[in-house]
Structure 1
Amino acid sequence: MADFDDKNKFPPTFESQQPEHDVDELSMGKGDLLGKEGVDPVLEAKMHLINNAIDEIGMTRYQWKLFILNGFGYAVDSLILLIQSIIAGYAQYEFNPSYDNGLTIAVYVGMLVGALFWGLSADVIGRKYAFNVSLLISSVFCIVAGASPNWIVLGLFTCLSAFGAGGNLVLDTAVFLEYLPSKDQWLLTLMAAWWGLGQLIAGLFAWAFLPNYSCPGYPSETGVPCNWNTNPGWRYVWFANGALVFVMSILRITVIRLKETPKFLVGEGKDAEVVETLQFIAKKYNKPCSLTLDQMEACGVTGAANNQRRGSVSAHAKSRFSFAEVWVHLKGLFVTKRLGLSTSLIWFSWLLIGLAYPLYNVFLPVYLKTRGAALGGLSQSQQWRNYAIANACSIPSPILAGFMCRSKWFWGRRGTMIIGALVTMAFFFAYTQVRNNDENLGFTAAISFCLNIYYGTLYAYTPEVLPSAHRGTGNGVSIGLNRFMGIMSAVIATYADTSTPVPIYICAALYIAMAIVAAAFPFEPMGNRSS
């Protein structure tokens, strides 16, 4: 194995082999975020070479295509989550279930299992498989859910559609990040605008179908029969959503043929494929790329140093499909004290937002309905119009967060999350003083905007500070914990009155905790390159 420069962790001959370029343009002067953790010097050296090559190539149409196609996953995740919440009450009129919050639990169970399954599979077999099939799985079960004959079957298909969608937030961020030049990593935060677009689409579907194609209430109370003929609105919402997701899944396969990410391949020891992938992109878009196989091989064999280092871990167990493989990826997230602290705080943040977000947003239709009546009454059309307007306000906030997180004035990613959490908390407290319909809409829109400054930044920050070889697992557990708390929020809502301001106060307190945790994060990606 070649000797290393201890300071830079890459072969000393590397710089002399590079063509003359502006250092700021290539960002080669930047450090690798986890480069000082000393987990595997060989892997760190190769990762440094890959980051230099990606910076040298810069942004191309390949990354912009990924921005759009991966954004579909964000949109679908929010679509599935909100649509089940929106249609639940109308399906209850028809099926009269014994447990009203069953759909909420079903969707979060599906997303929990999906996040863990697709997240781990990303580290075991690669990123591209879930990218190609997850949306297709979701679309099929969305369409089938619209034809459900009873509450239990509806819950099953809602769960299965969520399973397909649940892995997208794990994979989409990882895939996009691992192709991004370091100076453009802030785009990962901006990509959360697709989440807001999904919320807007959900609101528009509700506004289009539910007011005119739904029962007025339970047949026992209204005397109006409630069946497929008189209550098709919620089914139309599922059909329309499934058709849209199907189109998105086809576009993912046809617009781009995703190559496995170089940062996954390097952990597999496939140096030749790393160079081939990067050279292919550079050649296709007429960009420079001076990375060679000789440079990669000069670093040594990935994992060889780990086998001799006490307490360190390799990228895989002896058997890929075993509990030992799961343990390897979990252990890799805690291999140093600083990395372990970072992982723990990230997971705790996802627990907090996982409880706060559903308590307010998933049960918002109930709160809006009761507040609308208390404030003088709103028609169904007006309620869902306001719901769509509020969701539309969540689109620009990740764009603002993207610009904030690259600015020293806002202390990078951590400062952006602190500001987003505290401002959201302030509007939560203010929301309890709403007295008329206009105030209700205004504060709802403001909360929707501010909340996604924090949420969008956390989505981007999480994969940025996780090691590449274990990024899928760490991100999957993060999203999984979020979904678990979504299940708990449904249980809480069963025994709490969501029409009162109490959940609002709880959410506000949770956002204070999120701000404190964000301030304690040990890593700041701004000015550094993701590993």
Structure 2
Amino acid sequence: MSSDHSPKIAASNGKDNEKAALGEPDVVLDGYSVAEGADILALQDVDPALNAKMHLVNNAIDEIGWTNYHWKLFVLNGFGYAVDSLLLLLQSIISTQAGYEFTPSYARALTIAVYVGMLFGALFWGISGDIIGRRFAFNVSLFICSFFTIVAGASPNWVALAVFIAFLGFGGGGNLIMDTTVFIEYLPSNKQWVLTWLAAWWGLGQAIAGFIAWGFLSPLKWNCPNPFDDNGVRTSVCYKHSNMGWRYVMYTSGCLVLVMSVARITVIRLKETPKYLLGEGKDQRLVEDFHKMAKKYNRPCSITLEQLDACGVINSAHAKNAFSVSELTIHFRGLFATRTIGFSTALIWLSWTLIGLAYPLFYVFLSSYLASRGADFGNLSTYDTWRNYALVNISGIPGPMLAGWMCNLKILGRKYTMVIGALVTMAFFFAYTAIRNQAQNVGFSCAIAFCLNIYYGTLYAYTPEVLPSAHRATGNGVAVACNRVMGIISAVVATYANTSTSVPIYVCAALYIAMAAVAIAFPFEPYGKRSS
């Protein structure tokens, strides 16, 4: 292992002499770097001082290695994934029973409300994460979720319920962004694949939502029967006191999220991430935090303030005034700083847009399409319906775990893991159109949940891995926002389109093929490299 910890960038592209002539740092390999010692964006030459300092910071993270602190981050960041999936499902879980009570004028209002909330939340928390830091958004967003989830359970009417659903979506909109951003900025390079495993918490959140629904929406004593006839005319009244099941779902979920919120600030007491401090120019605090961590976990740490000072001054991460148009402009321009980085950013946003449309659109049209082709699922009891729902969601948990193993294979890496996940999911979607009974329905739904999370889990991990650290939360936020926009569009399409035609089935299949093609076209492969 090399003992040279001077500010040098790892690379191997044969441009060393040219760089030396320009007065840039020499290019070397060192013992703390993985593979060829390359930081993913080191060769983009956006800011030589930032590249040199980033290399030293990555060396320090690798030198300290995996600790119990990372285990805590894995669990507490996983809460954000679980909450995000829980919140997305809650509105669909409660909409039918709440509709019995409130007689909504627009049945899909809750779906649109949660996606609108998450859209603005993704943008707000993403941009603020780059401007004021990761720590604030990480600690606050879950509290907002828990508060409005509980309040939504006490809604007096449909409009109020939709408004509260939008606010809980706003709080939840920042979770996925901050969870992946915070985690990647602490991870040793040989453990970056663990970021994919975070998505297993997504499936766990869905499963928890299913079990809560199973417990509260099955008993007849807490739920009104359908008060509408086949023509949609109300034939009976559904009173609040006889329809408390959906409210109990919201109260229970809100309390669960509150416990997670408290755990985040009491168990881990998150410090600001080292790569954010680097962009802020707070080198001394960064070095102090590293040495405190190393001392706590009895690990070596050789980074010094003098090494960082020798790299020069970073001038590409922030404007002079944090709360200005210039600051906002810097973060968006930084995502397109070079042709390669800009191409990567555009493809990431396109991927999130495609999956955001394909997945909900398929399920929007599926039930009507299958019914028009003679599928007979029988008259399931409420108990069996929610049991099956929980089984399907549990099946999504192992998908990201398999993806974590696949993306750490040199032959596949992140890109081809996504290709396989997208194409296999597409195959199961096509096969799903042939099902004709309930057993087939449950089986194929479980298979799709498993395979889709191979793609989704890897995309969640790949996005923050390849984005520039100073602008990571902004780029991540826009990516997730693109996904939410498509969720809104799918809800509107479902309201006005013909849901028995086969055209959307083939459109969705084409979208999955497009996702695979985009994954192949990604210019960066993070396998064997370190997040910049």
TM-score (norm 1): 0.92
1:37-88 deviation digits (Å, cap 9, x = unpaired): 0000000000000000100100000111000000000000000001101111
Measured in 1, the distance between the counterparts of 2:101 and 2:242 equals 9
Measured in 2, the distance between the counterparts of 1:196 and 1:529 equals 27
Question: Aligned pair 1:225/2:234, yes or no?
Answer: no
1:257-304 deviation digits (Å, cap 9, x = unpaired): 11101100111111101111111111111011111111111111111x
Match of 2:423 in 1: 422
Describe the shift of the 1:365–1:229 C-alpha distance in structure 2 as closer, same or farther (beyond 3 A).
Answer: farther
Query: 285, 294, 297: which is aligned to 1:273?
Result: 285
Question: 1:458 is aligned with what amino acid?
Answer: L
Measured in 1, the distance between the counterparts of 2:271 and 2:364 equals 36
Deviation at 1:503, TM superposition (A): 4.4
SS in 1 for 2:86: helix
Match of 2:82 in 1: 75
Match of 1:183 in 2: 190
Question: Aligned pair 1:37/2:39, yes or no?
Answer: no
Q: Is the 8 A contact 1:219 1:225 kept in 2?
A: no
Match of 1:506 in 2: 507
Measured in 1, the distance between the counterparts of 2:57 and 2:47 equals 15
Match of 1:309 in 2: none
Measured in 2, the distance between the counterparts of 1:85 and 1:104 equals 7
SS in 2 for 1:32: coil
Alignment of 1:16-55 (within 5 A): 23=31, 27=34, 29-55=36-62
Mean Cα deviation higher: 205-214 or 242-251: 205-214
Equivalent residues, number: 512
1:106-144 deviation digits (Å, cap 9, x = unpaired): 000100011000000110010000111110110000000
Q: Is the 8 A contact 1:75 1:199 kept in 2?
A: yes
Describe the shift of the 1:273–1:443 C-alpha distance in structure 2 as closer, same or farther (beyond 3 A).
Answer: same
**Structure 2 residues not aligned, in runs of 5+:** 1-5, 10-14
Match of 1:307 in 2: none
Question: 1:216 is aligned with what amino acid?
Answer: P
Query: 336, 341, 346: which is aligned to 1:339?
Result: 341
Q: Is the 8 A contact 1:73 1:135 kept in 2?
A: yes
Measured in 1, the distance between the counterparts of 2:409 and 2:269 equals 34
Measured in 1, the distance between the counterparts of 2:263 and 2:107 equals 36
Describe the shift of the 1:76–1:499 C-alpha distance in structure 2 as closer, same or farther (beyond 3 A).
Answer: farther
Query: 248, 252, 275: which is aligned to 1:263?
Result: 275
Match of 1:483 in 2: 484
Q: Is the 8 A contact 1:369 1:383 kept in 2?
A: no
How much is the aligned-residue C-alpha RMSD, in angstroms?
2.4
SS in 2 for 1:229: helix
Measured in 1, the distance between the counterparts of 2:384 and 2:501 equals 21
1:137-172 deviation digits (Å, cap 9, x = unpaired): 100000000010101100010000111111011111
Match of 1:242 in 2: 254
Measured in 2, the distance between the counterparts of 1:91 and 1:326 equals 41
Alignment of 1:75-114 (within 5 A): 75-114=82-121
Question: Aligned pair 1:215/2:216, yes or no?
Answer: no
**Structure 1 residues not aligned, in runs of 5+:** 304-313
Measured in 1, the distance between the counterparts of 2:371 and 2:384 equals 10
Mean Cα deviation higher: 99-108 or 358-367: 358-367
Alignment of 1:116-515 (within 5 A): 116-212=123-219, 213-219=222-228, 223-303=235-315, 314-360=316-362, 374-409=376-411, 411-498=412-499, 503-515=504-516
Measured in 1, the distance between the counterparts of 2:356 and 2:108 equals 17
Measured in 2, the distance between the counterparts of 1:260 and 1:364 equals 45
Deviation at 1:502, TM superposition (A): 5.3
Match of 2:3 in 1: none
Deviation at 1:91, TM superposition (A): 1.2
1:289-328 deviation digits (Å, cap 9, x = unpaired): 111111111111111xxxxxxxxxx212232112222111
Q: Is the 8 A contact 1:134 1:164 kept in 2?
A: yes
Q: Is the 8 A contact 2:185 2:274 kept in 1?
A: yes
Q: Is the 8 A contact 1:368 1:383 kept in 2?
A: no
Measured in 2, the distance between the counterparts of 1:167 and 1:476 equals 8
Q: Is the 8 A contact 2:376 2:438 kept in 1?
A: no
Question: 2:457 is aligned with what amino acid?
Answer: G
Describe the shift of the 1:73–1:361 C-alpha distance in structure 2 as closer, same or farther (beyond 3 A).
Answer: farther
Question: 2:248 is aligned with what amino acid?
Answer: Y
Deviation at 1:361, TM superposition (A): 5.3
Measured in 2, the distance between the counterparts of 1:386 and 1:252 equals 32
Question: 1:335 is aligned with what amino acid?
Answer: A
